[in-house]
Amino acid sequence: MFTSLPFPAHPAALLIGITACLAPPAKAQHDVQRNAVQKIALGQHEQVATILGGNRKPDAGKAETLFVETLNLAAQGKIEEAISRRKLALAAGLPLERFVAGPRKLLSRLPPVEGLIEVELVHGPMVGAVTSEAASFWVRTKEPATVTIRIGEKEFSSRTTVEADYTTVIRADGLKPMTAYAYRVLVNGKEIPSGQTNMRTFPSRNNPQPFTVGFGGGAGYIPEWERQWDNISTFQPLAFLMLGDNVYIDQPEHSLCQHYCYYRRQSRPEWRRFTARTAIYSIWDDHDFGTNDCVPGPAIEKPAWKRKVWEIYRQNWVNPSYGSGEKQPGCWYDFMIGDVHFIMLDGRYYRDLKGGSMLGPVQKAWLRKTLTASSGTFKVIASPVPFSPRIKPGSKDPWDGFPEERAEIFSWIRKDRIAGVLLIAADRHRTDLRTIPNGASYTLYEFESSRLTNRHTHKVVKTDGLVWGYNKTCSFALMQFDTTRPDPQVTFGLIDIDGKRHHSHTLRRSSLK
């Protein structure tokens, strides 16, 4: 089970086209265990030992190797050998949840683990979709079960299902703004040990208060760097935005690999502590949607794997919504924290180089309507890839590949006199602050961060708009908002995996109009 951390009552101060999605993935980030699971998904069992053997790098560790060997043996019906490997994996420190979560199609071939207390709550709780009066809680259980969130004397329940991969989302309402709540998790009426934790509601729009939000992308699975999640928690962000490459899958056609990559992150105690207390919001990018730099085209159902990837994504997050739902899948949505408006973009599902659109017509129309109608003091547009020109020289993967659509979005800000817009993004494996001229309008600021736990690093590209950049180790971005001031402000901060602040920059609302 995961262990809750002490919780503070207040925020801290401070091919072009479809075939491109099937291109070989970048190898720098993937560990040999994930590569071996891809071979299991393809039925190429004889290649697994070769991939895992020797001193091959990158390596996620002995326990992870033993888990993958268990999967491979179970897939081949070698049950006794699989049981032996499972025993060794648990002895090496692998969380029991890994063998409960699955992939169940393979692990269900093995008898239950003997001599250990069975896990009822496999993953979660993960807090999200928070407002000033409500919050949602995502969980995964061992079997279909009724899960209850108890807050004081109130109880809120929902049931996990096989169809949703044993997950559900419980909605709790009737809460008070900007308040810390202790909550408990019950499965089939039984309180889960160590299941008590804490969360905070958001300030109301009519009574804004200072708050802190963190964000980042590029969260490759590196066991020794999973401590990043505890590091972020020490800064007590009210919310954290996962802006893509949140897991590195690069296998959209085989759900086995997708499940494997989600499960190993969700079983980490550091991740569970972090997401049980911090409101989590996510969008995807190429490595957790398709493959490296993928361009899937504008169709909803082509390639055929698109909808299945979307369904698995929804089963593993707790966003307020997902695009326009079943008729128009995606991961775009918006939400408010006090009087700050966050607008989250999907840069992959409808990406079409030939048609010149990253967003697709439905999402683009939604973006303009949302942005134009926004009353937010600050309006934060979150993109999985940077808007800044020449940030990835020679590549069409960032917004440089869609210059007309980028110019169109910037023209709305200029012509419609939309004040207070900030840009945040991920994708580049470092943390940057940059500026972008916007004609007769104000200069746009873009804060980019995408090396939460990645081993692979990108150099800091020195363009005219670079304010500062950092790539020496893993890092995340922190934004401290204070709209109670006569001139509202946001302070951008760059924090490394050891909790050291390297740069900061304060931006006032008066400069964004």
Q: What is the pLDDT of residues 26-48, one digit of tens each?
A: 456 789 999 999 999 999 999 99
Residues 190 and 336 in one domain: no
What pLDDT score does 327 carry? 96
What pLDDT score does 6 carry? 33
Q: What is the pLDDT of residues 290-312, one digit of tens each?
A: 999 999 999 999 999 999 999 99
Q: What is the pLDDT of residues 217-246, one digit of tens each?
A: 999 999 999 999 999 999 999 999 999 999
SS3 content of the chain, % helix, strand, coil (to 5): 25, 25, 50
**Residue 184 token pair:** 């408990």
Residues 129 and 87 in one domain: no
**416 contacts: CB under 8 Å, gap ≥ 6:** 372
Provide the domain count of the chain. Answer: 3
- Residue 25 lies inside a defined structural domain of this protein: no
Beta strands of 263-397 (E only): which ranges?
Answer: 279-282, 333-337, 340-344, 378-383
Residues 81 and 156 in one domain: no
Residue 361 has pLDDT above 50, yes or no: yes
Where is the domain boundary, 107, 130, 145? 107
Check which CATH number belongs to the domain holding 253 and give it. 3.60.21.70
Residues 131 and 70 in one domain: no
- Residue 129 lies inside a defined structural domain of this protein: yes
Residues 317 and 381 in one domain: yes
What pLDDT score does 27 carry? 53
Question: How would residue 14 be classed by pLDDT, with cut points 50, 70 and 90?
Answer: very low
- Residue 375 lies inside a defined structural domain of this protein: yes
Where is the domain boundary, 199, 223, 255? 199
CA-to-CA separations, 408 to 349, 357, 394, 482, in angstroms, rounded: 20, 11, 22, 30
Residues 92 and 145 in one domain: no
- Residue 257 lies inside a defined structural domain of this protein: yes
Residues 149 and 263 in one domain: no
- Residue 354 lies inside a defined structural domain of this protein: yes
As a whole number of angstroms, the distance between CA 374 and CA 49 comes to 55
Question: How would residue 54 be classed by pLDDT, with cut points 50, 70 and 90?
Answer: confident
Residue 25 has pLDDT above 60, yes or no: no
What pLDDT score does 306 carry? 98
Where is the domain boundary, 46, 78, 107? 107
Tokens 């910037």 sit on residue = 410
Check which CATH number belongs to the domain holding 157 and give it. 2.60.40.380
Residues 80 and 226 in one domain: no
Q: What is the pLDDT of residues 274-285, one digit of tens each?
A: 999 999 999 999
What pLDDT score does 222 carry? 94
Residues 145 and 102 in one domain: no
Residues 151 and 78 in one domain: no
What pLDDT score does 29 carry? 78
- Residue 452 lies inside a defined structural domain of this protein: yes
- Is 112 or 414 the better-scoring residue by pLDDT? 414
What's the rounded mean pLDDT across residues 332-351?
Answer: 98
- Residue 153 lies inside a defined structural domain of this protein: yes
Tokens 């979150």 sit on residue = 382
Q: Based on the number of CB atoms within 10 Å of its own CB, is 414 exposed (0-12), middle (13-18) or buried (19 or more)?
A: middle
pTM score, whole prediction: 0.94
- Residue 10 lies inside a defined structural domain of this protein: no
Residues 188 and 243 in one domain: no
What pLDDT score does 28 carry? 63
Residues 56 and 138 in one domain: no
166 phi-psi bin (left φ>0, alpha ψ -120 to 50, beta other): left
As a whole number of angstroms, the distance between CA 470 and CA 447 comes to 12
As a whole number of angstroms, the distance between CA 115 and CA 368 comes to 58
What pLDDT score does 148 carry? 98
- The domain of 481 spans 215-511
Q: What is the pLDDT of residues 177-202, one digit of tens each?
A: 999 999 999 999 999 986 668 999 99
Write down the mean pLDDT value for the chain: 93
